[in-house]
A and B are shown apart, each in its own frame.
Chain A
Amino acid sequence: MAQQEPEQDARTLTMSRAMVEAIAFEMREDDEVFYMGEDVADYEGIFDSTTGLREEFGYDRIMDVPISETAYIGAAVGAAQAGMRPIAELMFVDFFGVGMDQIYNQMAKNTYMSGATVSVPMVLTTAVGGTYNDAAQHSQTLYGTFAHLPGMKVVVPSTAYDAKGLMHNAIRDDDPVVYMFHKRLMGIGWMPAPDGPKTGVPEGDYTIPFGSADVKREGADVTVVTLGLHVHRALEAADSLAADGIDAEVIDLRTLVPLDTETVTDSVAKTGRLVVVDEDYRSFGVTGEIVARVAEADLDDLEAVERVAVPDVPIPYARPLEDEVIPDAADVEQAIRAVHEGE
């Protein structure tokens, strides 16, 4: 169900400001929290993920590192195992391959292999998503990759309010958390965001429990399950369909690990129709997982289903090609209509 809403007169923040506010708060509270990554100090994060932090905390706690993902992500693992609370930023999620062993064989597995005698309380932040024509090595979303490999909690905020609350949790959590923010939601000057992600954000600290999906729009006819940028595209589609008398419920997963199956199945029990929308590749990913969980929970609830995702092709460069593969509001609208009409 819809989580605590900020007061009507609350100030509004961009998603990047909200994230940074949580990081700054945690850094003030706990000297063991530090941030490292490429271009996070002087540049303040290519996607504004560290704006103002170096000024307040200095180079020792906001560390620019050499371009060596294996070394600095692995160093975060080591520092976390030593009891610190590092945040390591991987500039683009597409670069994960360079340091993947440290991510999925060390960061994600050391707790398990040690019989939980070792914990890895770190956050790996990373930018995801396309919609700006940067081609196949800088536009992937890869939610499914990280959620598929066990041992990491995976967070995907879609609004400033959620981004702040989830970041507080992420830093305080004793496990490794992968915090995936969509470039198009951050509120960067050179990459305009849709209206949705800039929301009211309380001044103080607050947390949003991992594994609590949020119903961003209530509706009776069709359940739309999505995350990240596509929450806003789904909301746009739902608003547009309301005029035709189709009432879509839009669920924002907010975290993939843990996954709030219950909110999804409850909604499908009500609507009977499911559309899953994802900016990651279609096969072996979030869309398949959600459909499977709903089917496992109660197949009888499911009258119709559609998946809207990136077809299994790398993200192309040219605008007409990228537009073809990344789902837009019209694609979501079409899928909602299809399950509603139940051809």
Chain B
Amino acid sequence: MYENMVTARHYEERLQEEYLEGKQPAFDISAGPIPGELHLAAGHEASGAGVCQHLRDDDTVTAPHRPHHIAIAKGVDLKRMTAEIFGRETGLGTGKGGHMHLFDPDVNFACSGIIAEGCPPAVGAGLAAKKRNTDSVAVAFLGEGAIDQGGFLESLNMASVHELPVVFVIEDNDWAISMPKERITDLENGARRADGFGLRGERVDADDAVAVYEAAGEAIGRARDRNGPTLLELQVHRRMGHFMGDPETYRSESDATAAQERDSIERLEADLRAEGVDDETIEELRSRAHDRVEEAIEWAKDQPEPEPAAAHEDVFSNPPSGVTDTEPEITGHGGED
């Protein structure tokens, strides 16, 4: 779990460096080797690692627009994920998806850039598990800004009434872009959303990876044993802006500093040391994480960009015959002179 967290943190730091390349001095979102939006998850690591530690490849995870730490913990192919973020042909989605839309069917991982919209598909994965009578489970991750969305609330209800093996995980980092939690919900404890739908709700405070691990273990165990869905709210923090380039003018310096001080990785490391894990072991884990990240980034940057013509492929898995070419030749139809 510690290794997953350290990998995710280092990965985010490296992506940040790569992302900023070519975007200086004047920030231009479409410039540089990684264009488009980039939402980094530094400060969220305990949630992805603590939850996914209990999952198998046949368990499904749906992640939101801030997916990297969850993907890493779920075992998504790091090299191909990185290639996707760099928009390369060998990326998970052959360069079509980008960082908010990572799909790795080998480990049943998917994400969506639309708030709360990963919840219904997780319910569907739970439904499939129930119908097929397997013991796999589904976990939907969402931010605390998503807990007012219909898609989430409807999913809680459906999972509950059909007793589906689904765990909903709210990552509460206190901020929905510029909107602080208290301005979008009167509920301090988002896990209380469960109360109205007849499923269990539990909140874990304070960026404590061990507590996250334990709470997630119980919830996932319950789901696997067919004892119903759970809603978990996990306190994490946002060390950066909502997206790279976010000036965060809406956020007080003290809040930003406080987020920097609450580091679940340092906390877990202290716990490990207290339990007698020595420096050498910690260093070895860190170094392995570091090497893995560097290797993935180097590999990804070395991959070819997709051919432009590939843009026209993959709209369907089974392309129907008789469909008009997506881009007819410009020929000057008509005209007699």
Contacts and interface: CB of A to CB of B under 8 A. Distances in A.
A323 B307 CA distance: 11
Contacts of B330: 306, 308, 331, 334-335, 338
A246 to B, nearest CB: 13
Interface string A133-168: 111111000000000000000000000000000000
B149 to A, nearest CB: 6
A131 interface: yes
Interface string A12-48: 0000000000000000000000000011011100100
B283 interface: no
B124 interface: no
B335 A273 contact: yes
Interface string A299-343: 000111110100111101111111111000001001101111111
A112 interface: no
Given A306-B330, A311-B312, A135 B113 contact: yes
Nearest to B185: A66
Interface residues of A: mostly helix, strand, loop or mixed? loop
Nearest to A68: B148
A220 to B, nearest CB: 15
Interface string A178-200: 00000000000111100000000
B244 to A, nearest CB: 10
A338 B30 contact: no
A57 interface: no
A43 B180 CA distance: 11
Contact of A302 (B183, B334, B337): B334
Given A135-B113, A311-B326, A318 B306 contact: yes
A318 B88 contact: yes
Contacts of B88: 318
Contact of B100 (A65, A135, A331): A135
A283 to B, nearest CB: 7
B305 A318 contact: yes
A317 B184 contact: no
Contact of A303 (B114, B179, B334): B334
Interface in A96-142: 97-98, 131-138
B160 interface: no
Interface of B: 26-30, 35-37, 84, 87-88, 91, 93, 95-98, 100-101, 112-117, 145-146, 148-151, 176-179, 183-185, 245, 249-250, 305-312, 315, 324-327, 330-337
A243 interface: no
Q: Identify the interface centre among B27, B98, B183: most chain A CB within 10 Å of its CB.
A: B98
Nearest to B93: A317
B306 A320 contact: yes
Contacts of A70: 150
25 contacts: A39-B179, A64-B184, A66-B176, A66-B184, A67-B115, A67-B145, A70-B150, A98-B151, A131-B30, A133-B35, A189-B27, A190-B27, A190-B245, A303-B335, A308-B330, A313-B312, A316-B95, A316-B311, A319-B305, A324-B308, A324-B309, A335-B330, A338-B331, A341-B335, A342-B337
A320 B308 contact: yes
Contact of A71 (B100, B148, B250): B148
Interface in A273-315: 273, 282-283, 302-306, 308, 311-314
Given A66-B185, A94-B114, A318 B178 contact: no
A211 B26 CA distance: 39
Contact of A67 (B26, B29, B95, B184): B184
A137 B114 contact: yes
Contacts of A313: 311-312, 315, 326
Interface size class of A (residues with CB under 8 A): 35 or more
A132 B98 CA distance: 12
A251 B165 CA distance: 56
Given A136-B97, A324-B312, 16 more contacts: A64-B178, A67-B149, A70-B150, A98-B149, A137-B112, A190-B29, A191-B29, A192-B28, A306-B332, A313-B315, A316-B311, A318-B87, A319-B87, A321-B310, A339-B335, A342-B335
Contacts of B36: 132-135, 138, 317
A312 B326 contact: yes
Contact of B178 (A43, A138, A341): A43
Contacts of B326: 282, 311-313
B315 to A, nearest CB: 5
Nearest to A71: B148
Nearest to A70: B150
B29 A42 contact: no
B332 A338 contact: yes
Contacts of B250: 42-43
Contacts of B333: 304-306
Nearest to A97: B114
Interface in A62-103: 64-68, 70-71, 94-95, 97-98
B176 A67 contact: yes
Contact of B332 (A38, A65, A343): A343
A43 B97 CA distance: 27
